[in-house]
């Protein structure tokens, strides 16, 4: 990786980066629905708190794989990319 690649990348601290809802979904049982519930249930939802909520409350449909922290963070990133969530640096 060259140094010019590093300049375009933003690194977030998951314990202090807040997650907010940009748009909702009409599928409350989906992953996005789960993320939105996690955010709404928390006073100041950080990426770390939302990830913990997902690990504790989500089960992968049709899969025997466990839901771990890296899975939850990937899903948060994907929801941000799709425009459902927004990350805010504190």
Structure token digits, residue 52: 């913990």
The pTM of the full predicted model, rounded to 2 decimals, is: 0.84
Domain coordinates of the chain in residue numbers? Answer: 10-88
Q: What is the pLDDT of residue 6?
A: 53
Provide CB contacts within 8 A for 10, sequence distance 6+: none
Predicted confidence (pLDDT) per residue in 2-56, tens digit:
444 555 677 788 889 999 999 998 888 899 999 999 999 988 899 999 999 999 9
How many Cβ atoms are within 10 Å of 54's Cβ, its own excluded?
22
Residue 65 has pLDDT above 60, yes or no: yes
Q: What is the pLDDT of residue 64?
A: 82
Hey, CA dihedral for 38, 42, 45, 49, is it positive or negative?
A: negative
For strand 18-21 and strand 85-88, is the pairing parallel, antiparallel, or unpaired?
antiparallel
């Amino acid at each position: 990786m060259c140094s010019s690649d590093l300049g375009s990348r933003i690194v977030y601290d998951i314990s202090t980066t807040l997650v907010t809802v940009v748009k909702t979904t009409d599928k409350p049982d989906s992953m996005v629905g789960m993320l939105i519930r996690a955010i709404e249930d928390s006073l100041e939802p950080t990426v770390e708190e939302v990830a913990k909520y997902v690990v504790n409350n989500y089960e992968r449909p049709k899969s025997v794989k466990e839901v771990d922290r890296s899975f939850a963070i990937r899903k948060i990133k994907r929801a941000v990319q799709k425009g459902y969530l927004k990350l805010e640096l504190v």
